[in-house]
């Protein structure tokens, strides 16, 4: 072991072998838990392995072959977990679908990946039926729920048959998951993650997070998200912990689940932790003056203690954590976006351990995470074991592109060799497109992004070129530029668009109707066209505000917009809307 690990792992196993190991070692211990029909239902490790075998057998009976692609679409629930592991047991590849996408986006992924079977919760069946009607795929829809519908199979019925005499041989080199991320050309790219990629990340992550059968992970982030799938699903199963699926994202429900199940560990995005902090702070602000003075004094004592190397928060704020319903929580892990340092400091002052991590879908995803006893809020910590980092082409200040190498790096982009070669160099280094610097002790500090990706407050990645692709389809739009506008007092951004109307087209249409378009009418038409265009993509990708620009953007000799000339402009703030963009005319 090195100075950054807390234990050795017990092997890089396939998901199939991992589940068998955990079922043998943790048997009757609770693996999965969910609040349903007024009570918590549980699935033990032994029961989980049996259900996975039975559903995998059902998949094989309906024709699923090794290397087939099977999509999963639904809320966080035991059925999602069972389906994921069963697809692997049958030798096939999982293609998780983001529930926030629209039917047209589901269609692109299903067609591009060649998915013929989708395991889906009842609330999304209509979307998948719409995809099948338009694209002829998937041929088979399997419902996680027992609501019988025409042309839809039931997961429960597929689990009733006999088990096969032989199972497919699943190896570490097999393709485990095909994860689609938003692309830069208007279409998403499929990230190919092998069993070795995902389970190496699982094993290495287990070495730096001290947990075991006595821990209970509260699963809040969506399971299609690689961060949750690896860190909040496979890692706990690898180490024998329990997983409780949060009943909703409402703060009240999350606190109830923590209190009622004794949850000890939770993964989240910065927005979640910021809202939890703000909720507690609001309650404290309503306390009597004397109590607020006492709490303020305790914060002062805790800060002095920290300077002396003493961790006093756990003792000083025991009562506060208990009243907040969070007494059982001991470890919080933030990922998906940059965590404001003051949020980490506040939670750590209360006696929690709030770690920040870093990684990308292409790295399975975790590459870095903070460690107990060496927390630095501005850092994402040192790399996990088995992962190499280097800074490519560092400047005089040491900042450069972050590059990653190791078994966690994807095998490539699906059916896109050009993009794969651009991302992974001949020596196996994956170029992240992010800018950072390595400290003398190996900690990584993120300083910015080379790529144009916009990170929302919920940790969602939005690629501006994809949004621009949709906006630019309108004949009334000449060109557009989408970028992230920094939100005050956060490290996150909201999506903002600049749109140049196609004035020649407006002139043509004005001639046809017999009167020229006024400035106000142009704004109204562009507003309508932008809202129509973005209605076809997920809500989190849509511009919250936009402005109309009269002149074309300045471009390079290859006709690419010089984004850097516009991203730092001061943007008017009166165009904020709740869901739809509003035209904001700037001079």
CATH number (domain holding residue 381): 3.40.50.12780
In this prediction, residue 316 carries a pLDDT of 95
Query: Does 235 share its domain with 345?
Result: yes
Query: Does 179 share its domain with 323?
Result: yes
Query: Does 372 share its domain with 512?
Result: no
Q: How far is it, in rounded angstroms, from Cα 271 to Cα 330? A: 19
| Total length of the chain | 587
Query: Does 336 share its domain with 471?
Result: no
Query: Does 356 share its domain with 465?
Result: no
Residue 423 lies in a domain: no
Its domain, for residue 572, covers 454-585
Residue 187 lies in a domain: yes
In this prediction, residue 405 carries a pLDDT of 98
User: Cβ-count burial of 377 within 10 angstroms (0-12 exposed, 13-18 middle, 19+ buried)?
Assistant: middle
Q: How far is it, in rounded angstroms, from Cα 16 to Cα 206? A: 18
Residue 415 lies in a domain: no
DSSP of 177-197: EEEEE--SSSS-EEEEEEHHH
Query: Does 368 share its domain with 482?
Result: no
State phi, psi for 174 to the nearest 5 degrees.
Answer: -70, 150
Query: Does 275 share its domain with 182?
Result: yes
**Geometric angle at alpha carbon 21, from 16 and 27, rounded to 5°:** 115
What CATH code is carried by the domain that includes residue 519?
3.30.300.30
Q: Name residues of the chain where pLDDT drops below 50.
A: 183-186, 557-558, 569-583, 585-587
Residue 422 lies in a domain: no
In this prediction, residue 555 carries a pLDDT of 75
pLDDT tens profile 55-87: 999 999 999 999 999 999 999 999 999 999 999
User: Cβ-count burial of 436 within 10 angstroms (0-12 exposed, 13-18 middle, 19+ buried)?
Assistant: buried
Q: Which of 386, 415, 445 is the last residue of a domain?
A: 386
Q: How far is it, in rounded angstroms, from Cα 138 to Cα 166? A: 27
Residue 407 lies in a domain: no
State phi, psi for 61 to the nearest 5 degrees.
Answer: -65, -30
Q: Which of 365, 386, 407 is the last residue of a domain?
A: 386
Query: Does 2 share its domain with 99?
Result: yes
Residue 394 lies in a domain: no
In this prediction, residue 580 carries a pLDDT of 46
Omega cis (within 30) before 138: yes
In this prediction, residue 319 carries a pLDDT of 93
Q: How far is it, in rounded angstroms, from Cα 403 to Cα 406? A: 11
Query: Does 369 share its domain with 471?
Result: no
Q: Tell me if 428 sits within 8 A of 405, measured CB to CB.
A: yes
Q: How far is it, in rounded angstroms, from Cα 4 to Cα 1? A: 8
Residue 271 lies in a domain: yes
pLDDT tens profile 205-251: 999 999 999 999 999 999 999 999 999 999 999 999 999 999 998 88
Q: How far is it, in rounded angstroms, from Cα 179 to Cα 94? A: 8
Query: Does 355 share its domain with 501?
Result: no
Residue 426 lies in a domain: no
Q: Which of 361, 386, 411 is the last residue of a domain?
A: 386
Taking residue 226's Cβ as centre, other Cβ atoms within 10 Å add up to: 26
Tally the domains of the chain: 2
In this prediction, residue 1 carries a pLDDT of 57
Q: How far apart are the first and last CA of the chain?
A: 61
In this prediction, residue 139 carries a pLDDT of 96
């Amino acid at each position: 072991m090195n100075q950054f690990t807390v234990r050795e792992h017990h092997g890089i196993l396939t998901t199939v072998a991992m589940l068998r190991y955990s079922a043998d070692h943790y048997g009757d211990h609770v693996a999965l838990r969910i609040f349903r029909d007024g009570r918590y239902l549980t699935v033990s490790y032994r029961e989980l392995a049996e259900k996975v075998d039975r559903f995998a057998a059902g998949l094989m009976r309906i024709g699923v072959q090794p290397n087939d692609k099977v999509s999963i679409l639904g809320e966080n629930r035991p059925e999602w977990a069972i389906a994921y592991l069963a697809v692997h047991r049958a030798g096939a590849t999982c293609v998780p679908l983001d529930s926030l996408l629209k039917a047209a986006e589901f269609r692109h992924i299903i067609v591009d990946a060649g998915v013929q079977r989708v395991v889906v919760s009842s609330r999304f069946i209509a979307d998948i039926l719409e995809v099948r009607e338009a694209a002829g795929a998937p041929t088979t829809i399997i419902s996680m729920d027992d609501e019988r519908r025409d042309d839809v199979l039931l997961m429960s019925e597929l689990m009733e048959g006999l088990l096969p005499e032989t199972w497919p041989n699943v190896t570490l080199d097999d393709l485990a998951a095909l994860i689609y991320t938003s692309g830069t050309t208007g279409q998403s790219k499929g990230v190919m993650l092998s069993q070795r990629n995902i389970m190496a990340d699982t094993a290495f992550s287990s070495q730096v997070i001290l947990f075991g059968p006595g821990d209970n992970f509260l699963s809040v982030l969506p399971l299609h998200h690689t961060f949750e799938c690896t860190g909040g699903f496979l890692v706990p199963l690898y180490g024998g912990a329990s997983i409780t699926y949060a009943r909703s994202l409402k703060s009240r429900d999350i606190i109830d689940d923590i209190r009622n199940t004794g949850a000890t560990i939770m993964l989240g995005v910065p927005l979640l932790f910021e809202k939890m902090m703000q909720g507690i702070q609001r309650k404290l602000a309503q306390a009597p003056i004397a109590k607020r003075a006492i709490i303020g004094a305790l914060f002062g004592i805790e800060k002095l203690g920290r300077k002396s190397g003493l961790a006093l928060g756990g003792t000083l704020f025991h009562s506060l954590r208990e009243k907040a319903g969070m007494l059982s929580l001991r470890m919080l892990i933030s990922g998906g976006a940059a965590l404001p340092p003051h949020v980490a400091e506040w939670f750590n002052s209360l006696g929690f351990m709030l770690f920040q991590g870093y990684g990308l879908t292409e790295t399975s995803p975790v590459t870095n995470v903070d460690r107990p006893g060496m927390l630095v809020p501005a850092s994402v910590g040192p790399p996990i074991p088995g992962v190499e980092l280097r800074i490519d082409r560092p400047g005089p200040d040491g900042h450069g592109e972050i590059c990653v190498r190791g078994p966690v790096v994807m095998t490539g982009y699906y059916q896109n060799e050009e993009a794969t070669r651009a991302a992974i160099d001949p020596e196996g280094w994956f170029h992240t497109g992010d800018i950072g610097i390595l400290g003398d002790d190996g900690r990584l500090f993120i300083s910015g992004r080379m790529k144009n990706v916009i990170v929302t407050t919920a940790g969602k990645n939005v690629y501006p070129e994809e949004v621009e692709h949709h906006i630019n389809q309108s004949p009334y739009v000449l060109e557009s530029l989408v970028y992230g506008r920094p939100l005050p007092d956060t490290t996150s951004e909201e999506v903002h668009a600049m749109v140049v109307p196609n004035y020649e087209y407006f002139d043509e249409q004005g001639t046809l109707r017999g009167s020229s378009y006024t400035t106000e009418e142009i704004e109204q038409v562009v507003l309508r066209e932008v809202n129509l265009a973005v209605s076809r993509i997920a809500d989190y990708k849509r511009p919250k505000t936009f402005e109309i620009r009269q002149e074309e953007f300045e471009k390079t000799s290859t006709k690419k917009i010089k984004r850097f000339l516009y991203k730092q402009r001061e943007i008017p703030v009166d165009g904020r809307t709740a869901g739809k963009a509003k035209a904001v005319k700037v001079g």
